Amino acid sequence: MITCETLMKSFYKREYKIMLDWLINKRHIAGISQQSLAEKLGKPQSFVSKIESGERRMDFIEFINICRIINFDPVELIIALNNKNKQKDVK
């Protein structure tokens, strides 16, 4: 059974932090402000701010939509995370 504690542990995993840093970096590269991203998502700016700060957990569909708006392929991050995990398994 999945508990709140289990979900919270995954929230703070290193991979989630890497994902957030990746999204922020890609948003900056795209020259898109939090406000502009929020408008394109139909959300308030605080929505994006809370996601980027880790205060609000983003679901998969939100992740895909953000990637689409900032014009980056989400597969790029998935491959990078998968490769990092493979490297950890080898050590």
User: Phi/psi of residue 3, each to 5°?
Assistant: -110, 170
- For residue 23, which amino acid is it? L
> Contact 58/51 with Cβ under 8 angstroms?
yes
Q: What is the enclosing helix (H) or strand (E) of 4?
A: helix 4-11
Single pTM value for the model: 0.77
Q: Which CATH code for domain 14-90?
A: 1.10.260.40
pLDDT tens column, 39-88: 999 999 999 999 999 999 999 999 999 999 999 999 999 998 888 766 66
What dihedral do alpha carbons 66, 19, 54, 7 form, nearest 10°? 110
